[in-house]
A and B are shown apart, each in its own frame.
Chain A
Amino acid sequence: GIQVEQSPPDLILQEGANSTLRCNFSDSVNNLQWFHQNPWGQLINLFYIPSGTKQNGRLSATTVATERYSLLYISSSQTTDSGVYFCAVGTGGLKTIFGAGTRLFVKA
């Protein structure tokens, strides 16, 4: 089956810093999503982005489907950005596969 790899596995930032999270996948996909799981366990959908670029406030995402990767950009990080960021891909049907996540801690 398709493999989803996220990097880095862990990231510590000083508040205000920028960061880039990466998601590589091993096969063609027809959908890709980014999620944030906050320290209380809640999962929030950040982007549904099978291709192209989207922006939402300080967050933006780019998926280059032909090269099998997606990037999540966080600018001017805040402590509330802390948590785990998951990339999830679908190859057809509804079986979406999640990566292991990037754990982010933003220091005040």
Chain B
Amino acid sequence: NAGVTQTPKFRVLKTGQSMTLLCAQDMNHEYMYWYRQDPGMGLRLIHYSVGEGTTAKGEVPDGYNVSRLKKQNFLLGLESAAPSQTSVYFCASSSNSAGYTFGSGTRLTVV
């Protein structure tokens, strides 16, 4: 019962580099989300998806892009990383009648 799996768990990028974070869920959930968590703060929604092939902006979408080509996968891309994007990134999935299941997080440092 893997639930929600995020890869990688850790990454260090140089300013201007690009990368993609992968989120995979095996619960057949319709909805998927990407959040970022900064020290001492709650979680802020970056982008979300209501189903395969659809995405929408959250609270802090600038500098990120997402894709959901398959129902079970939700990708978060950083095209040109900036130090302000240093954070812990969490993916989550949910259904209509249940709350979120979170992945274990990706700790990203941009130097």
| A interface list, Cβ under 8 A from B | 31, 33, 35, 41-45, 47-48, 86, 88, 94-101
Asked if residues A47 and B99 are in contact (CB atoms below 8 Å), the reply is: yes
Q: How far is the CB of A42 from chain B (nearest CB, A)?
A: 6
Determine chain B's interface SS by DSSP, over half rule: strand
Asked if residues A94 and B31 are in contact (CB atoms below 8 Å), the reply is: yes
C-alpha gap A98/B42 in the complex (Å): 6
Asked if residues B99 and A95 are in contact (CB atoms below 8 Å), the reply is: no
19 A-B contacts, Cβ less than 8 Å apart? Answer: A35-B100, A41-B104, A43-B92, A43-B105, A45-B102, A47-B99, A48-B99, A86-B42, A86-B43, A88-B43, A94-B31, A94-B33, A94-B48, A95-B59, A96-B33, A96-B45, A96-B100, A97-B45, A99-B42
C-alpha gap A35/B37 in the complex (Å): 14
What sequence of 0s and 1s flags, for each residue 79-104 of chain B, a beta carbon within 8 Å of any chain A beta carbon? 00000000010101000001111101
Asked if B58 CB lies within 8 Å of chain A CBs, one says: yes
Q: A94-B50, A95-B58 are in contact. Are A45 and B100 (CB under 8 A)?
A: yes
| B interface list, Cβ under 8 A from A | 31, 33, 35, 41-45, 48, 50, 56, 58-59, 88, 90, 92, 98-102, 104-105
CB closest chain-B residue, reference A31:
B99
CB closest chain-A residue, reference B100:
A45
* Contacts beyond the supplied A43-B100, A48-B99, A95-B48: 12 A-B pairs with Cβ under 8 Å: A33-B99, A33-B100, A35-B100, A41-B104, A41-B105, A42-B105, A45-B102, A88-B100, A94-B33, A94-B48, A99-B42, A100-B42
